[in-house]
Amino acid sequence: MYSIGTILLYALAAEIFRRCCLILLAAFTGPLSKIPGPMIGKFTSWPWLIQCVKGNQMNIGPGLFQKYGDVVRVGPADIMFRDKATITKILIDEDFRKSHDYETVREDPNVASLITETDKVKYKQKRRLLSPGFSIGYLNGLEPLMHECLQVFKKVLDGRCRDAGGYAVIDMNRMLGNLTSDVMSAASFGGSFNLVESDDNTQKNIFNSYLRRVALDAQFPLLRHLPGVPSASSMISGLVERIVSKRRQEMEKGVMKKDILQIFVDTHNADPISFTDKHIRNEMILFMIAGSDTTSLTAAFTLLLLLNNPDKLKELTSEIDSTFPSLEDNVTFAKTQDLPYLNAAINESMRLMPIITGGIVRLVPETTILCGYEVPKDTIVSAWVSEMQRDPRIWPDPDSFIPERWLGDYKGVPADRKAFMPFSAGSRNCIGQQFALKELRLILVTLIRRYELSLVEGQSHELRVHTVPWFKQGFYNVGVKLRS
Ligand code: HEM
Ligand SMILES: *[C@@H]1O[C@H](CO)[C@@H](O)[C@H](O)[C@H]1NC(C)=O
Ligand SMILES: *[C@@H]1O[C@H](CO)[C@@H](O)[C@H](O)[C@H]1NC(C)=O
Ligand SMILES: *[C@@H]1O[C@H](CO)[C@@H](O)[C@H](O)[C@H]1NC(C)=O
């Protein structure tokens, strides 16, 4: 007779054996086994996930492509791609649904926001609901709000220069981060956080630490259930609740606003059961994150590239000076919309230093041929837009900052606009892209017209990524002086 203990032991051993067989089977047989990649990736995604936690995938990924080619297997069911045809197929033609990674960043697994919605039908309804908040008419109405935030920005920069005896060294990464948070809160939530002017950085820090936690939670869902670890959303919900209750008070007094927050509150009032307070909170948090650091980093990266390519900065400065001959000229949407060199510089910056630095992750709904390989249902595929945008088969001198390539042929090759997706592509592209471009143009023109910007030597450009990139050194300094 076997004892219960022995039977359990045998059962356990059998189960371990069965799992090992399955892992081996998946590693060496089946369609994905033909895809090149590091040996460990055949068995487990762990080493790759650890790079994600370190914020280092963007630095490791390019090397993997270099070593293995256009397709790399980094986990048993985790494949990355960089070629234009496959990326177009994943994001646009097949328009695969978002992978479950997006669900793990939800505060409550049943409460999806626009960004984290993975169901295609529900997503369509959500996006339609929000589209009035991004119409041309609505965006143009935001001009005075953005203008006000920029006035404060100028005032603060002027003061910093004055205090420093004319020439100040400014951490532009932070200043711009404060500015775009102010713009986002003013435009979407009915009031600027006023981070640029105040010294109070608690709100900004709340969002920053939230970002890192979100990235961690996505990879380690268990983390959320550990006792004593505050959830990502508890860190932020107090702030959001204050904003919503202020809006409700204003509505009671009959004050009407027409912004993104109002769309959320109205949706809630029309159907409080399916669009709860939690939904409002989630949408706001994700909008704040999607809209501020993305834009400020793009502005900071553009400045970085211009300062390191002084002839390009000179070219842009002369375009801006001839459009705004006087320092008093009002920098408006209309006058910054069609400046060719400015737009070319922004595009070139987003090509070379995009905000989405790793793969855009999607889930394969049924077996599909991608880049010549059969990829089965439920495989996670990532579209490395950043690598496509540096593909030497598409872009001559891919690692150089050459705005001119957007203005005509460069080395006989016109810019391939279909291989340029800084705002992603397909149904899940960035809803805020026109908002961002309008804001970016105002910021860059204001800075370049008003100040003499100079390179502060010896800074590291090394980046890490948690949801969005950040400078490893923690800042990006720029020399700033009022122009005469
Ligand atoms: C230069 C600045 C920006 C860049 C580079 C950028 C980039 C992107 C990218 C690549 C995505 C797709 C993400 C994915 O597939 O997971 C995205 C989505 C999104 N962005 Fe932006 N974005 C920027 C500014 C903004 C702004 C200003 C807003 C809001 C006003 C915004 C709101 C959103 C939202 C709500 C989504 C989710 C869309 C959806 O799933 O339907 N973004 N953005
Ligand atoms: C400049 O333009 C902004 C945005 O349209 C407007 O709010 C502001 O009043 C204008 N200022 C001047 C001095 O014309
Ligand atoms: C902007 O943010 C930084 C740090 O994030 C903070 O120290 C500063 O006071 C804020 N405002 C200004 C004007 O820089
Ligand atoms: C920048 O890229 C966008 C999107 O591809 C394109 O429509 C626009 O023409 C480009 N701008 C310039 C100046 O080439």
pLDDT tens digits along 431-465: 999 999 999 999 999 999 999 999 999 999 999 88
Other Cβ atoms less than 10 A from the Cβ of 455: the count is: 17
Comparing CA positions, the residue from 70, 60, 36, 57 lying closest to residue 101 is 57
* pLDDT tens digits for range 249-303: 888 998 877 788 888 888 888 888 888 888 888 888 888 888 998 999 999 999 9
Q: Which of 151, 161, 163, 175 to mutate to test the pocket of ligand 3 (most atoms within 8 A of CB)?
A: 175
Q: Which of 343, 394, 405 to mutate to test the pocket of ligand 4 (most atoms within 8 A of CB)?
A: 343
383 vs 102, 158, 388, 389, 476, CA distance in Å?
15, 43, 9, 11, 29
- Using DSSP's 3-state secondary structure scheme, residue 131 falls into helix
371 known ligand binder: no
Q: Is the pLDDT of residue 229 over 90?
A: no
Q: Is the pLDDT of residue 478 over 70?
A: yes
Region of residue 210 (phi > 0: left; psi between -120 and 50: alpha; otherwise: beta):
alpha
Q: Who contacts 79 (Cβ-Cβ below 8 Å, separation ≥6)? A: 32, 35, 71, 72, 73, 370, 373, 375, 379, 380, 381, 382
| 147 ligand 2 Cβ < 6 A | yes
Helix H, strand E, coil C: the string for 341-371 is HHHHHHHHHHHHCCCCCCCEEEECCCCEEEC
Atom of ligand 3 nearest to the CA of 199: 9
pLDDT at 422: 98
Confidence of residue 112 (pLDDT cuts 50, 70, 90): confident
Highest mean pLDDT among 126-135, 167-176, 219-228: 167-176
CA of 289 to the centre of ligand 1 (A): 9
Query: What gap in Å lies between CA 439 and CA 294, rounded to an integer?
Result: 12
Quick one: which H or E segment has residue 72? Answer: strand 71-75
pLDDT at 440: 98
Instruction: Please give the DSSP secondary-structure letter assigned to residue 47.
Output: H
Task: Output the CA torsion sign for 250, 251, 255, 261.
Answer: positive
Q: Where are the domains of the chain?
A: 77-482
Average predicted confidence (pLDDT) for the chain? 88
* pLDDT tens digits for range 35-58: 999 988 888 888 888 888 788 888
117 vs 25, 87, 291, 415, CA distance in Å?
33, 21, 17, 33
Comparing CA positions, the residue from 332, 336, 354 lying closest to residue 463 is 354
- The CATH superfamily assigned to 77-482 is Cytochrome P450 (1.10.630.10)
CA of 320 to the centre of ligand 4 (A): 18
Instruction: Please indicate whether residue 428 or residue 223 has the higher confidence score (pLDDT).
Output: 428
Q: Strand pairing partners for 477?
A: 171
pLDDT at 321: 97
pLDDT at 483: 93
Segment 80-99 shows an average pLDDT of 96
71-75: strand order across its sheet:
71-75, 78-81, 380-383, 360-363
Q: Which ligand is closest in space to the CA of residue 420?
A: 4
Atom of ligand 3 nearest to the CA of 200: 9
Protein residue closest via CA to atom 2 of ligand 3: 174
pTM, 2 dp = 0.90
Rounded to 5 degrees, what are φ and ψ at 72?
-135, 135
* pLDDT tens digits for range 391-408: 999 999 999 999 999 999
Query: What gap in Å lies between CA 274 and CA 83, rounded to an integer?
Result: 40
Biggest alpha carbon distance in the chain? Answer: 98
CA of 102 to the centre of ligand 2 (A): 40
Packing angle, helices 260-270 and 172-189, rounded to 10: 40
Do the bridges between strand 167-171 and strand 368-370 make them parallel or antiparallel, or are there none, so unpaired?
unpaired
